[in-house]
Structure 1
Amino acid sequence: MRGLATAVVALIAVALVLEWAGVTVRWLGYRSVSGRYEGTVSSAEYNATRDVLMPLEVGLWLLSLLVMLVVFIVLVGWMLRTQRNARTVSPVSHHLSAPWAFWGWVVPVVSLWFPPLFLHDIAKASNPQQRGTPLVPLWWIAWLTAWLTFWAGTVLTTSGISDDHDTIQTLRDSEVDSLFTFSLLRTVAALLFLAAGILLSATVLKISRAQSHWTPARS
């Protein structure tokens, strides 16, 4: 279990680094837009910065989503393995069968509570004396809130500015403020993703550590 657990934690760390790199680029973009709007950044400087930052930001977000997909695949494998171990050794019953380790994430409606339920049962079976762990519900709350904040920023606010061509000088204060709000919501989402990543990593390590004690020492 330790190999899979280490892989999950390492991939989560990579995803978080990419997430925060994207947030940093987002604020650099906002700084460039606000500077151009206030007249402290020239048109040439603005367009040069925009040509670098926009594809970089998009690339970082896409790469972070790709890493999240890999995290999902490895995490599902870890969940299947740990549930099988728990069913073999522990008498504690499980609410969900093994296929729900995957389908619980993708089936509409039930995906809102099946993943934490699946993980809670594994945690409880791995250490019956503790009857589960508060890390699981805290992780799930942070995870759902992070995605809600992320999409709220995308849907409700301005996500980018077009090429300069002097049009940026016609921007209204509300549009610049909207771009600030967008950047702020992305930052809040990144903080929530960070919390979710730490909580999930701690849960994975805790369960894997508990199950590692089940393996007899070899002479």
Structure 2
Amino acid sequence: MPTYRVRGLAVAGASAVGAATLCYLLTALFPLVGVRMARSAAEQLDRDVLLGAVLAEVLFSVPYLLALLTVGTLVVIWTWRARKNLDAFPGAVPNLSPAWAIAGWLVPLANLVVPARVLADLLRNSVWQRRQSWLVGVWWASWLVFLIGDRFVARAEQQRYDRLTELPRNDAEFATYVRFYEDALAPRLVPAVACLVAGIAFVVLVRRISAAQQDRLSRAVPVWPGQPVWPGRPGWPAPAAPMPVAPTSPQVPPTPGGTIGA
């Protein structure tokens, strides 16, 4: 069975997840910047400052989108490689085929359940410690809260923004932009906290699964069942020496008065 090294990919994926989480937290906290810019625009009655706030939020979002694309690519590759390694581990009994390690992230609706099952397979058959299975539940619950919460908040904000005056002219109309940014911060905190929890939990899972698999691949020692080590690897027992054969006396032709075979 072919096997794949996952440690380097795990480090890259964990770093990308950390970067994406940090970028998302910055976008979630942007209302703190937006409210100051809106107040400055209200004091100066300057629409360009409001436009600058919109452009600044877009600039905040670009690094997050790039990091998210990188995370998606690395995580899919890592998941597939880690799942393929299970086929080479005696005693591993995964519930899903390697194809689901890729399709589970991409197929709509299935991506709400399948990745959690694949990750639970990887944890159970790599680390062999059931008490760590709660990490999968924490990661997936927080990930779902993040996905649903982020979309709900984004849609609600867009509806509120569409009701604002497109070209504010007086203090009252500029004040609506100030209130918009003031009210935007609290709803964003829910998906932000969920994103942080999901990011930390996923990094822990990836590192533990990768370390366990890499250690097993380096030693090539099945956990259960199987021989102590695989054939051809260091430590494999040497072939048993042939059993000694008791010496026999040479056969001689019979002679008169002698004994046959003496």
Q: Give TM class, smaller chain.
A: 0.7 to 0.9
Partner amino acid, structure 2, of 1:111: N
**Counterpart amino acid of residue 170 in structure 1:** E
Match of 2:18 in 1: 13
Match of 1:29 in 2: 34
Query: Within 1, Cα distance between the matches of 2:16 and 2:175?
Result: 42
Residue-by-residue CA offset, 1:163-194 (whole Å, 9 max, x unaligned): 65415623787x86554343322232122111
User: Which residue of structure 2 aligns with residue 107 of structure 1?
Assistant: 107
Asked if 1:85 is matched to 2:94, the reply is: no
- Where does residue 187 of structure 1 map in the other structure? 189
Contact 1:30-1:179 at 8 Å conserved across structures = yes
> Larger deviation: 78-87 or 158-167?
158-167
Comparing 22-31 with 100-109, which one deviates more in the overlay?
A: 22-31
* Equivalent residue runs for 1:1-219 within 5 Å: 1-33=6-38, 35=39, 41-44=43-46, 47-130=47-130, 133-157=133-157, 158-159=160-161, 165-166=168-169, 169-170=172-173, 179-214=181-216, 215-216=218-219
| Root-mean-square deviation over aligned CA pairs | 2.7
Preserved contact between residue 23 and residue 186 of structure 1 (Cα < 8 Å):
yes
List alignment gaps of at least 5 residues for structure 1: none
Distance in 1 (CA, whole Å) between partners of 2:14 and 2:77 is: 13
Letter aligned with residue 203 of structure 2: S
**Structure 2 contact 25–192 (Cα < 8 Å) conserved:** yes
Q: TM-score, normalised by structure 2?
A: 0.71
**% of aligned pairs identical?**
25
TM-score (norm: length of structure 1): 0.84
Q: Are the aligned partners of 1:124 and 1:131 in contact in 2 as well (CA < 8 Å)?
A: no
Give the direction of change, closer, same or farther, for the CA distance of 1:206–1:48 in structure 2 (3 Å limit): same
Length, aligned pairs only: 213
Task: Give 3-state SS (helix, strand or coil) of 2:29's partner.
Answer: helix
SS in 1 for 2:22: helix
In terms of fraction of residues, the more helix-rich structure is: 1
Residues in 1 aligned to 2:23 and 2:174: alpha-carbon distance in whole angstroms: 31
| Alpha carbons of structure 1 residues 163 and 139: separation in structure 2 relative to 1, 3 Å | same
The structural deviation recorded for 1:60 is 2.3
Equivalent residue letter for 2:70? V
Q: Name segments (4+ residues, structure 1) moved above 3 Å.
A: 159-165, 170-173, 175-181
Q: Which has the larger radius of gyration?
A: 2
